[in-house]
Structure 1
Amino acid sequence: MKRNNRNNRFKLLVVLLVLTLLLCGCWDVKEINLRTPPLLIGLAKGTQDEYRVTLYAPITQKGKTETRIITDKGNSISSVLQQMQTNSDDALDYTQVQFVVIQNNLAENEVEMDKLVRLLMDIEQLPTKSLVAITDEDIEQMLSNIKKVSGTHATSIQDFFNKGQWAPEVSSTRIWELYRSLNSYTKDINIPIVASSKDTILRFEGSAIFKKEKMVGRINPRENLLVNLFHHRNATGEIESIDSAGMIVKNSSLRIKSSMKKDEPLVSCDLQLKVQSIERKEGMTDQQIQAELEKLIEKQFSKIFEQAQKNKSDIFGFGQHFRNQIPYQKLKNWRDEYYPNLKVNFQVHVSHI
């Protein structure tokens, strides 16, 4: 009888241990309806050493989806994010953040931008694939305007950057790409600039050019399209307008060939565009339209490249093409020693279909 009691106690102990192990894996799990997953995080510099963090989160209650805008402030961004989690009614889940907007008063500060990029990479919950953008507007006012336009369709912000060939001039930059640019010797990065609009979710206003953590210039949407082509984007769907005609780009391709001549880097670029005219002035031939468009694009490139070379910012990523031609120890001097002497032969060839 004692042996049976002993066996029963042993079996009961085993069962309790198994249940305890199962409990360890899920005791602190929050039900999905008790989580608040912000879609967007807005970051801005406040007064003196203060930072402002704003969350844009879709909330589902009783079968209805509403958008909530939450703002807090503190002496560091990480402490504010933690403070928001502590004070939130539900569990704030930063793993679903898809968009980070940085106000210009923070983005234009070189020291602050360097700290911010490294912080965004260090926050474990924050996906490094989240998109990054800059705005000249007050973050809270911008999100309030978006809320008025979007209503309950909070994911419309995400859709803005996923239009594909419908808007080839729009660029997208992710957190990990921004971090990579801090440590790159041969490639700089452009971050899209956005603003709210009365009739649409967002308005694309071009891109900010960053040399590592320093903003060195801005380009408009048309110029940004040209930069996108050098980053393996296609111009298909772009509407091109010149004095004599309007065209739609049906296909594009860019060939780049690099060489070194007496330690002087040379690059030849051949941009091929296939276009279809959608309107033209009377009497204008295909050849005249093609020549006018070729001249216009080549002039645009010269303007952007001249400014980028002056700022020593390799926004086109030309240095990437010399990684096998320049010794690694010298490659880190690309921006200061090689890039200022870079010669680029950029030619555009337009044809009608």
Structure 2
Amino acid sequence: MEQTLIPFGLLEGRLVRAIEVANGLACGCLCPGCKTSLIAANAGLKNVPHFRHAKTVDCRAGYESSLHKVAIALLVERKFIVTPDFEEIISGSTHDGGALSKVVRFKGRSLTATRADAEVVLSGVTPDVIYEVDGHQLLIEVRVAKKIDHDKHTRLRALGLSTLEINISSLDMRTICDPGLFEQALLHDPSNKHWVHSNRGVQMVNEAKAELATEIKAKNETIRLRLEAAAAERKARAEAIRLRRQGIKDFGSSRVTQAVNLPVRQPLREDKSALRQKILQRAELIAASIQRSVAEWGGQAAQCDTCLMVNPPASAHCAHCGAARGLNPVTFTSDYARTALARLKCSPRVDRSFEQVPKLKP
């Protein structure tokens, strides 16, 4: 398996590739992990030149340890890296459940360091490489293992310094053993890099959060005003209904009072429930005349302003109260006719009809 192959051997204190030394045990190389002898396999054309242990040993550190050290050494030597893009999405919601979001991003760029140091301890944590770029420190982590070291990431973020991770855990042996391909992957390819922490990114995210909070506050205020307006409208409608009902009640009371004050030859008192019954009967007569206009006149009619009764189209006077003026041409639909009685029972116009014309013509 490829994981058992070792890309670099230790020769006189330095790491070398198999292609750079003699074949077999003559290479004189040791395993960077367990320090036992290695065999260089560089004579064939089928396989990528590599090292393997001369004797079977339980060593897993040779591959990762050598790759990690070579990557760090190349970063320090070149003092160059291409950073990846930064992108983070922040979101929030309004009081009505609406979602708002902002995308914070900036493009990656090529950086050349004025200084590069390897494995310097900073507040108890040791980044792999530290670059000095434009007066600022950039920490670089080289990830060789498949598993992320979350604890180290947390401690690095706590330093408050921009930190970049290069993930070369998936590089194949051909790329690792080719100096040009390895340098391209390690330094120039942004696709295997990501920001563990970015001071610029944090600043942009905080600014975007403040802007988003302002937008959400403005939208919440708009929502509040809309809800208050709707509540006020509902209250106004309820008050209008109350006043209309109160008006009907007061009108009934006034009719009773008028009956009490009539001369002796007139009835002295009229029961309010009886008066209300007459008003409802008037509503039924008006509704019946509307339904007749739909059934007999195709919905066309002339409605009297005085008694609200409906007459045949082009009538010159009201056949129900005798009014010669105030007849208006109207059109009723069958849907309206079906609901006319319910509408009229809630309308104060029926009260006025009865008040103006207490008795219609037979």
TM-score, normalised with respect to structure 1? 0.18
The structure with the greater share of residues assigned to strand is 1
TM-score, normalised with respect to structure 2? 0.18
The structure with the greater share of residues assigned to helix is 2
Larger RCO (alpha carbons 8 Å, 6+ apart): 1
